[in-house]
Homo-oligomer: A and B are copies of this chain.
Amino acid sequence: MKKLGKQTVQFDNPPQIISSASVVGNKESQGPLADYFDQVISDGYNNQQTWEKAQMKMTEDVVNNALDKVNLTKDDIDCLLAGDLLNQIVASNFAARKFPIPFLGLFGACSTMIEAMAIGSMMIDGGAANQVVTFTSSHYQATERQYRTPNEYGDKYPPYKQWTVTGSGAMILSNQVGGVAVTMATLGKVVDLGVKDPKDMGSAMAPAAADTILNHLEDSDRSPSDYDLIVTGDLGQVGKEITIDLLAEQGCDVSKNFDDCGVMIYSSNQNCGAGGSGCGCSAVVASSYLLPQLMYGNFNRILLLGTGALLNPVTSLQGESIPCIAHAVVLERTGHLTEGIGRPSIQDNLSTKIEDLTKSEG
């Protein structure tokens, strides 16, 4: 691999995503991407005694699912890379306890999945690992209680607030042939323009997203039109619009090919404020929806960003503003199909569509 500019790494032998899996809660299973998720948990408790244990179980299950899809076992994996929003990333730690595999715990708030993909890709391209699993998760009730107030308190829900996604996503990155390649990673720096309201994450995170997009384009000498889609993790509607505006101010027009996983995951009639948030948001949307679109050629190349707000409740109470970060990876179609990516029904639909497209082109 080699450095491009200040923040980007280009992979010589791009690590390939050979499998991905997602599990979500009820709310997410009623949204626009319902058909794409691999598994839906019964309720917030997921047959466990507490929300935290529900999240741990969800996380463990999604890793096993990603392995099972391509008939791999724990012995085939060199490293787990994961983190989550619970204090001391316990959902990831406790899930990793079930796997006798080296584990690198990460914290990038809701950018964690992309951070994991970036580090995992550097390990594979550099020769430190052959195959790694990246995963993350979030849980609505557990997160609200920890970051804000328990839902039972009935705190006000302003329209710009986002809804933490209950969900967990996992991907297997490999030096073998796979369905989608990770060709570059752009590591974000901490950006803080002074937003202090912990309910207004979209506004806080937008400048970090814009900063990483601009640096990526400069480092790679590309323009937005080099991507079929530039997609952020969980800016929500408010943050998405601010990011488009911030980029436009810098002469960078992404108005035609920009979206946000937090906007995509819920429909407007689901009463989820400005959209989804949480580590699980970008993880499940990427794992279940974006990867099959890439594998089957609806997209050839996307820029996927994870966006994280690096606060905790104590820093807010102590009057601090919210430092934010965004990491990015470039995902590209490889031309190879793997059963590890996409649900069978989606695979059929998409591959039929591809065949039709090929015929009409012919």
Contacts and interface: CB of A to CB of B under 8 A. Distances in A.
15 contacts: A9-B128, A50-B318, A86-B312, A88-B311, A94-B310, A96-B189, A96-B323, A97-B192, A99-B189, A101-B189, A103-B187, A103-B188, A104-B115, A105-B107, A105-B109
A87 B90 contact: no
Interface in A93-128: 93-94, 96-97, 99-109, 115, 119, 122-123, 125-128
A56 to B, nearest CB: 9
B190 A103 contact: yes
Contact of A3 (B130, B315, B325): B130
A209 to B, nearest CB: 15
Contacts of A108: 104-105
Contact of A310 (B79, B105, B127): B105
Nearest to A93: B310
A120 to B, nearest CB: 11
- Most B C-beta atoms less than 10 A away, residue of A90, A107, A188: A107
Contacts of A323: 93-94, 96-97
A1 interface: yes
Contacts of A199: none
Interface of A: 1-3, 6-7, 9, 49-50, 52-53, 78-79, 83, 85-90, 93-94, 96-97, 99-109, 115, 119, 122-123, 125-130, 187-190, 192, 310-315, 318, 320, 323, 325
A99 to B, nearest CB: 8
A149 B85 CA distance: 22
Contacts of A122: 122-123, 126, 128
B315 A90 contact: yes
A207 to B, nearest CB: 12
Contacts of A3: 78, 127-130
B100 A189 contact: yes
Contacts of A83: 107
B126 A115 contact: no
Given A1-B126, A87-B87, 10 more contacts: A6-B102, A85-B88, A97-B192, A102-B189, A104-B187, A105-B109, A105-B115, A105-B325, A122-B123, A122-B128
Given A1-B128, A115-B105, A90 B189 contact: no
Contacts of A97: 190, 192, 323
Given A1-B128, A126-B122, A127-B3, A88 B102 contact: no
B90 A312 contact: yes
Contacts of A88: 85, 87, 107, 109, 310-312
Contacts of A318: 49-50, 52-53
A122 B81 CA distance: 14
A213 to B, nearest CB: 14
Q: Shortest 7 CB-CB distances between A and B: which pairs?
A: A126-B126, A102-B187, A93-B310, A88-B312, A87-B312, A105-B107, A97-B323
Contacts of A106: 104-107
A52 B100 contact: no
